[in-house]
């Protein structure tokens, strides 16, 4: 049957349509092994030239070819270049080629444009594992992702997506690329790293501009903290999120805004692309690198450092160099902090414009500004802070009257610019923060300026008997100040026990060796309303002072020294096992709200013990230092350096030791001991560094210039160590590392210095430091007699005493090491406990499950429990740690702890810390113990660890001084007593005042008496008191009644005067004493009677006498039989003699 014609046509059309659709479907087209021109069919397997619908795989070399006076676009859906595959735009061809990739680009081979006339547009994702080097590479799709293991190197990389963001799917590296985009387009880096690099940089002398083939101009977005590695490349634009900037060559910044925190990594050199570049950081800025600090060599041109202004809306910390960079710290109504040293100008402002939203800047550690300081907001120096204004010009600091304020509770240094000009610069008044005014009335020679430093909330070093504010004022120049008036302001909150109505100003011109009172003339005014003492008036030369120096204010009253600012705790088993590791954990606490200065820790062991290794935690893990890398394996002392501790910071680290058998007799009478002591750390921040420099100087005989050079290197080393602590959490360094660091810094700045040849590797210096601190710690622990100065005071220390053993109690609890059998401890921030467990060596199988339970008593605050590290952690170990009320539980299954055949393979531990309950009285006994269960075995009870709280300091009572006229050496002594449950008296510290001057510390002694030198050729008043400290660090807070001594003159001249001008008779006497004397002018006679030890007993005024000879009788029946000293005082003479009363 014949079909209609229209039916045949319909069927034929349908067949053609189906076939046509099959041809439109995407195919995968692969190159032949020979490759060829893209547009040649013979290049492709099947001889089909790809279209935009085809997936293309390149396995060999494909070239673009020529296109005369025209352009041509190559297309593919997904393009994959396999390893060995290439797409080449030849250098000897002509015309413009582009490639449109409608899907994804995966490059494992090479895409290279040798003609600089080949562009690629991608609508999908990019994966680059090879060479990707077209002229332009453009993103034209949406939701596009980029990943790469090799650099992406187009001349220009464009973001022209249909949406707003492209996304990184791996770390990215752009090389010699200009990365830019349409307005609003961003690259979201997620948490991946971005690297930009260029082969070289150039310099335009006409524009004064650094240029690079690699520049990024698009906004970036980072999750968490991103990393940008910028090498000879330029960054311009905006970064959203926190970022770490690093470079191994030079990082160049054009105008840049970071909407987050910015950290510049240590060793990174940063330069502005041109002068006046602006950097804005909306949160915190931490710089450990070098900003605009170095001259940049480019060919034969030496480009000087560029300038930049960094406006920061968060905290600022600089531990590198800011170079030619001005810092604008902006409060915007918030409280900011600033730390570190700044080479350029620093502006403290409330906003970038005229708005005044308020806020303030806190300085709570040392900050130095070498440029000018401008203050448009409140700047507060806390008690632990120091502000050094080092600019030597005429405008060191400007404070805006209506918005700026400088409040100083700490220390401050600034320079007063004089420039030898009396007319313009002689007057220094109303300068906030220094609390001193003066007027230079006259000088000889050249006076360039005056350096002024003031220190609040601290007494002069070694001089506790003064107010908590002192000054150091020095002239700069070759001249001499001959007359000046001065006014010192004191604070009633800083009197430090001194009676306000008796305050006087004392000056030392030899940095504290001797003091003299200078507020003594009629023109010296004490104003207790306005709280100042002024000295001198401009129109009376004799009322003015003539030299500067150190100044303190004191009433001559005793004061308690400022409390120490850190404490040490040590946790470990008392007994030391022979031949096997013994861990001890050292805890260091800053117990104040202020930063400490550098701290030295010395750990000593007796000769039965050797160190194995040190475990130092930091941000990224634990650094393990074997003893071979830090000292001689037979060293009995290890010294550690801490650059600072933040307020209330706690840091701990582990020291591993072992016992030996072939030992000599231990110095602790057969007991093995481990001792740790901490030194320095007070607000005299240079004390620890000065000590290290002094020890190095002694060890290798450095002359003064060499010692100064070594001190500079040490200062740079300490600065870098502080930087490491800030950035990486590296809190503790070994003293050998500090020494090597110092030598390296000296070598950087002066590689041919003699210091390097003298100091070598610093071995002698290290041994000198160890020896000194070991001797000091032993003096502190073992009460060696004799006086020890305060320079190397042991601030805090702990000792563990035990025995050498071959094995331990396998399951044991240890807590804070205290003094004596009861482990007396003072108040410490945390109680740290370690619970040890062991699968005995005779066990038949490994322990599969271990449970530890500790039930805390009511003396603890269980809400403060913190679980700490365990012996078995990491992959494969899953502890379950929980607290139910006061019950602490540790549970681990699958630990497979083997029998302890070769210790410590079968040993483990858990650790935790907890606060004590509030309000516990001194004398409270703290007990703690735990139970341990191995698999299904019965519970094992540990020992009970005991501590006794001791919060009360001992008290002292001064003993009378035995003195006779002519004595030059006296004994000052006291009686001390501790509370009934106390740890006992450990150390005495004695203080002395001469002629009602400020009390100064004589040093520490393990005995209750000291020998003290006095003069027999001058009349002096001496006053003494002592404070004691117990074995857990409680220092006396109550000043005892002072013991006073008035020395008497004994000389041939005085004896002659006694014969010629005054006589007494009879002598010995019973009741009445007759005095015969001669006076040439009208004079008053006063008689003073002293006991033989110098104590004043009676003062009698005998009235006025006309010129001539006189005889006076006096009833002395008030004197008991004995020997007395009598002092006769007239207007012209003071004479003394010995009186015997029968």
What is the separation of C-alpha 425 from the centre of its chain, rounded to a whole number of angstroms? 37
CA atoms within 13 A on the CB side of 779: 21
CB 944 within 8 A of CB 967: no
Report CA dihedral (1090, 1095, 1098, 1099) to the nearest 10 degrees.
80
Q: In what order do the strands lie in the sheet with 131-133?
A: 36-37, 61-63, 86-89, 110-113, 131-133
Closest CA relative to residue 278, chosen from 213, 334, 330: 330
User: Which is higher by pLDDT, 505 or 572?
Assistant: 505
Q: What is the CATH number of domain 1052-1141?
A: 2.60.40.1930
Query: What contacts 228, CB < 8 A, 6 or more positions away?
Result: 193, 194, 195, 196, 220, 235, 239, 243, 244, 245, 246
More confident site: 671 or 372: 372
Distance between alpha carbon 1131 and the CA centroid of its chain, in Å? 59
- Residue 684 pLDDT grade (very low, low, confident, very high; cuts 50, 70, 90): low
Question: Contact 1043/1023 with Cβ under 8 angstroms?
Answer: yes
Residue 806: the pLDDT is: 64
Q: In 10 A of CB 1066, how many CB atoms?
A: 11
The span from the CA of 880 to the CA of 887, in Å, is: 14
Q: Which has more pLDDT, 295 or 764?
A: 295
pLDDT, average across residues 608-629: 90
pLDDT tens string 741-751: 888 877 777 77
Q: Collapsing DSSP states into helix, strand and coil, what is residue 335?
A: strand
What pLDDT score does 1059 carry?
36
Segment 820-858, tens digit of pLDDT: 889 899 877 789 999 998 887 777 778 888 899 999 999
CATH code of the region 417-554? 2.60.220
The pair of structure tokens assigned to 254 is 């054009």
Q: How far apart are CA 525 and CA 548, in angstroms?
A: 19
Is 9's pLDDT higher than 70?
no
Report the distance separating Cα 70 and Cα 96, nearest Å.
7
Show Cβ contacts of residue 599 under 8 Å, excluding neighbours closer than 6 positions. Answer: 566, 588, 641, 642, 644, 645, 678, 679, 680, 681, 688, 795
**Cβ-contact 97, 71 below 8 angstroms:** yes
pLDDT digits (tens, 9 = 90+) for 135-163: 999 999 999 999 999 999 999 999 999 99
Cα 1077–1079–1083 angle (5° rounding)?
110
By CB atoms closer than 10 A (0-12, 13-18, 19+), residue 510 is exposed
List the CATH code of the domain at 955-1046.
2.60.40.10
Q: Which two tokens stand for residue 365?
A: 């550690």
Ordered by start, the domain boundaries in the chain are: 26-188, 417-554, 955-1046, 1052-1141
pLDDT in tens, 898-956: 887 777 778 889 999 999 999 999 999 999 999 999 888 889 999 999 999 999 999 99
Is 954 in contact with 985 (CB distance < 8 Å)? yes
**What is the mean pLDDT of the segment spanning 709-719?**
85
Distances in whole angstroms, Cα of residue 1028 to Cα of each of 249, 397, 1004: 58, 45, 9
775 φ, ψ (degrees, to nearest 5): -60, -40
Tell me the C-alpha to C-alpha distance, in Å, between residue 620 and each of 316, 729, 769, 862: 23, 8, 30, 30
* CATH topology match: 417-554 vs 1052-1141: no
Binned at pLDDT 50, 70 and 90, residue 665 comes out as very low
User: What is the mean pLDDT of the segment spanning 498-502?
Assistant: 93
Percent of the chain whose pLDDT exceeds 90: 53
Mean pLDDT, residues 349-371 taken together: 95
Mean pLDDT in residue range 870-890 = 88
Q: What is the pLDDT of residue 1056?
A: 37
Instruction: Write out the DSSP string of 56-84.
Output: EEE-SEEE----TTSEEEEEESSEEE-TT
Tell whether the model's pLDDT for residue 238 goes beyond 50. Answer: yes
Q: What is the pTM of this model?
A: 0.80
Residue range 267-288: average pLDDT? 96
pLDDT in tens, 947-996: 999 999 999 999 998 887 778 889 999 999 998 888 899 889 999 998 88
User: Are 990 and 1003 contacting, i.e. CB atoms less than 8 angstroms apart?
Assistant: yes
User: pLDDT tens-digit profile of 1053-1071?
Assistant: 333 333 345 677 777 888 8
Question: Is the predicted pLDDT of residue 13 greater than 50, yes or no?
Answer: no
* pLDDT band at 531; cut points 50, 70, 90: very high
Most confident of 562-566, 618-622, 845-849, 914-918: 914-918
User: In the prediction, which pLDDT does 63 show?
Assistant: 94
Closest of 133, 139, 140, 99 to residue 116, by C-alpha: 133
Calculate the CA 1036 to chain-centre distance. Answer: 29
């Amino acid at each position: 049957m014949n079909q209609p014609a229209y039916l045949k046509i319909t069927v034929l059309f349908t067949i053609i349509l189906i076939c046509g659709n099959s041809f439109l479907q995407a195919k995968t087209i692969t190159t032949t092994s020979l490759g060829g021109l893209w547009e040649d069919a013979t290049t492709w397997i099947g001889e089909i030239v790809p279209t935009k619908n085809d997936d293309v795989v390149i396995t060999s070399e494909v070239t673009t070819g020529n296109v005369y006076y025209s352009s041509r676009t190559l297309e593919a859906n997904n393009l994959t270049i396999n390893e060995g595959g290439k797409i080449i735009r030849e250098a000897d061809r002509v015309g413009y080629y582009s490639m449109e990739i409608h899907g994804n680009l995966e490059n494992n081979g090479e895409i290279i444009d040798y003609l600089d006339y080949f562009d690629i547009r991608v609508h999908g994702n990019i994966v680059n594992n090879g060479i990707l080097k077209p002229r332009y590479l453009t993103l034209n799709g949406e939701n596009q992702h980029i990943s790469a293991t090799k650099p992406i190197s187009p001349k220009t990389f464009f973001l022209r997506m249909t949406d707003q963001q492209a996304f990184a799917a791996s770390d990215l590296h752009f090389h010699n690329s200009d990365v830019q985009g349409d307005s609003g387009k961003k690259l979201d880096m997620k948490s991946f790293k971005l690297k930009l690099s260029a082969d070289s940089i150039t310099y335009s002398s006409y524009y004064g501009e650094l240029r690079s083939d690699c520049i990024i101009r698009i906004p970036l977005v980072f999750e968490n903290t991103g990393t940008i590695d910028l090498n000879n490349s330029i960054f311009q634009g905006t970064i959203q999120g926190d970022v770490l900037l690093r470079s191994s060559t030079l990082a160049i910044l054009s105008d840049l805004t970071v909407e987050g925190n910015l950290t510049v990594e240590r060793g990174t050199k940063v330069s502005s692309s041109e002068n006046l570049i602006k950097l804005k950081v909306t949160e915190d800025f931490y710089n450990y690198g070098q900003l605009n600090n170095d001259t940049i060599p480019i060919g034969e041109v030496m480009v000087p450092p560029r300038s930049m202004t960094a406006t920061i809306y968060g905290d600022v910390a600089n531990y590198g160099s800011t170079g030619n960079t001005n810092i604008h710290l902006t409060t915007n109504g918030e409280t900011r902090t600033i730390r570190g040293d700044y080479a350029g100008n620093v502006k403290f402002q409330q906003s970038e414009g005229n708005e005044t939203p308020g806020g303030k800047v806190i300085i709570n550690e040392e900050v130095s500004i070498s440029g000018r300081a401008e203050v448009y907001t409140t700047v507060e120096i806390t008690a632990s802070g120091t502000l050094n204004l080092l600019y030597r010009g005429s405008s060191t600091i400007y404070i805006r009257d209506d918005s700026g304020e400088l409040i100083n509770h700490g220390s401050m240094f600034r320079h007063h610019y004089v420039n030898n000009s009396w007319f313009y610069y002689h007057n220094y008044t109303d300068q906030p923060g220094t609390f001193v005014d003066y007027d230079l009335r006259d000088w000889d020679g050249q006076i360039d300026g005056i350096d002024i430093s003031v220190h609040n909330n601290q007494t002069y070093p070694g001089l506790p008997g003064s107010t908590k504010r002192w000054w150091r004022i020095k002239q700069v120049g070759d001249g001499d100040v001959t007359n000046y008036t001065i006014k010192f302001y004191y604070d009633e909150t800083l009197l430090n026990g001194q009676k306000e109505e008796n305050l006087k100003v004392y000056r030392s011109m030899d940095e504290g060796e001797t003091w003299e009172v200078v507020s003594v003339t009629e023109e010296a005014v004490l104003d207790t309303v306005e709280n100042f003492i002024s000295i001198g008036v401009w129109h009376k030369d004799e009322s003015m002072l003539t030299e500067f120096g150190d100044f303190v204010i004191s009433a001559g009253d005793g004061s308690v020294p400022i409390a120490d600012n850190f404490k040490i705790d040590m946790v470990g088993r008392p007994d030391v096992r022979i031949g096997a590791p013994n861990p001890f954990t050292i805890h260091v606490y800053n117990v104040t709200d202020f930063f400490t200065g550098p701290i030295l820790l010395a750990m000593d062991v007796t000769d039965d013990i050797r160190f194995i290794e040190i475990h130092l935690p930091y941000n990224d893990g634990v650094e393990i230092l074997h003893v071979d890398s830090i000292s001689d394996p037979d060293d009995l002392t290890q010294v550690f350096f801490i650059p600072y501790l933040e307020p209330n910071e706690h840091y701990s680290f582990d020291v591993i030791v072992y016992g030996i058998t072939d030992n000599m007799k231990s110095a602790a009478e057969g007991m093995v001991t481990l001792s740790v002591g901490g030194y320095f750390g007070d607000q005299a921040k240079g004390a620890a560094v000065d000590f290290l420099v002094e020890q190095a100087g002694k060890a290798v005989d450095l002359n003064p210039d060499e010692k100064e050079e070594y001190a500079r290197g040490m200062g740079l080393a300490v600065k870098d160590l502080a930087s490491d602590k800030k950035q990486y959490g590296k809190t503790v360094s070994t003293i050998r590392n500090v020494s090597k660091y110092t030598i390296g810094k000296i070598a950087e700045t002066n590689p041919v210095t003699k210091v390097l040849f003298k100091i070598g590797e610093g071995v002698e210096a290290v041994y000198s430091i160890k020896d000194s601190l070991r001797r000091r710690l032993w003096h502190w622990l073992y009460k060696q007699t004799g006086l020890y100065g305060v320079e190397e005071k042991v601030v805090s220390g702990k000792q563990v005493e035990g025995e050498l053993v071959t094995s331990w109690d396998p399951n044991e609890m240890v807590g804070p090491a205290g003094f004596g059998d009861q482990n007396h401890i003072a108040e410490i921030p945390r109680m740290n406990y370690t619970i040890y467990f062991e699968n005995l060596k005779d066990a038949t199988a490994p322990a599969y499950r271990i449970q530890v339970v500790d039930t805390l008593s009511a003396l603890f605050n269980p809400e403060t429990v913190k679980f700490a590290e365990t012996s078995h952690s990491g992959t494969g170990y899953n502890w379950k740690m929980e607290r139910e009320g006061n019950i602490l539980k540790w549970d681990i299954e699958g630990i497979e702890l083997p029998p302890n055949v070769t210790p410590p393979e079968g040993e483990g531990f858990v650790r935790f810390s907890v606060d004590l309950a509030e309000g516990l009285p001194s004398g409270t006994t703290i007990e703690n113990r735990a139970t341990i269960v191995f698999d299904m075995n019965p519970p094992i009870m540990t020992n009970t660890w005991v501590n006794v709280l001791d919060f009360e300091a001992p008290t002292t009572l001064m003993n009378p001084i035995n003195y006779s006229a002519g004595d030059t050496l006296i004994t000052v002594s006291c009686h001390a007593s501790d509370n009934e449950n106390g740890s006992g008296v450990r150390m005495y510290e004695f203080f002395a005042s001469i002629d009602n001057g400020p009390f100064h510390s004589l040093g520490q002694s393990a005995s209750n008496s000291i020998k003290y030198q006095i003069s027999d050729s001058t009349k002096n008043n001496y006053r003494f008191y002592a404070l004691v400290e117990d074995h857990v660090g409680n220092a006396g807070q109550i000043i005892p009644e002072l013991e006073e001594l008035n020395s008497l003159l004994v000389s041939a001249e005085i004896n002659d005067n006694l014969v010629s001008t005054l006589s007494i008779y009879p002598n010995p006497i019973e009741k009445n004493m007759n005095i015969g004397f001669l006076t040439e002018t009208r004079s008053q006679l006063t008689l003073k009677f002293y006991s033989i030890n110098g104590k004043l007993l009676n003062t009698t005024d005998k009235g006025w006498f006309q010129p001539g000879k006189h005889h006076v009788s006096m009833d002395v029946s008030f004197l008991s039989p004995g020997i007395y000293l009598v002092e006769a005082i007239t207007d012209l003479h003071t004479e003394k003699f010995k009186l015997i009363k029968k």
